[in-house]
Structure 1
Amino acid sequence: MGDFNHPDICWRDNMAGHKQSRRFLECVDNNFLIQVLEKPIRKGDMLDLVLTNKEGLVGNMKLKGSLGCSDHEMVEFRILRAARRAHSKLTTLDFRRADFGLFRDLLGRVPWDKALEGRGAQDSWLVFKDHLLQAQEQ
């Protein structure tokens, strides 16, 4: 968690305008980190980040206002690891029950040329992965 000062990063699309910010994004991706703070908390920019290596590890995030004269807001959050481990069940995919025809059909409906046009390998992978996970949920 901290002030990473990369206002040009679009976390929704995983894109950045400046070289230094693109390198930061690459570092985050290479280390399998996820940025979980959803709302900009400093003058409309997403400068303060909460990074984790596992979805569901950080939760109950609340903005708590400024401390003193700071233009940053305090972020309160909880580490959910211990609680989740005690109550979580291991889930696995049952490939015997999978409808691969539907899966193939759903992925075949995606206009891949258009979806991947002008994207690099990393961005293309993220687009493909998103479509793959959406099809998996059907």
Structure 2
Amino acid sequence: MNDQVTKISQHGLIKGKSSQTNLITYHDGTTTWMDEGKAVDVYVNFSKALDTVLHDILVGKLRKYGLNKWMVRWIENWMNSRS
């Protein structure tokens, strides 16, 4: 039986690991796969982060920084439609 409570890949709440080490590990893994010609799909859950910002301000900033208008509209619709 495995006595390990956390997975070796876990970074949150682990001494010596952080969100930064998580991003570095993720970046290294995905770029290695891409260098090998493998397809890489990305799923990012922004729901907790989006609950902490005013959506109008975020949408304005996305437009200001030149994000495609259809992508901004998709993000805005998603934020307004979720429960």
TM-score strictly above 0.5: no
- Structure number with the higher strand fraction is 1
Larger radius of gyration: 1
> Bigger relative contact order, structure 1 or 2, given CA contacts below 8 A and separation 6+?
1
- Structure number with the higher helix fraction is 2
Which TM-score applies when normalising by structure 1?
Answer: 0.22
Which TM-score applies when normalising by structure 2?
Answer: 0.32
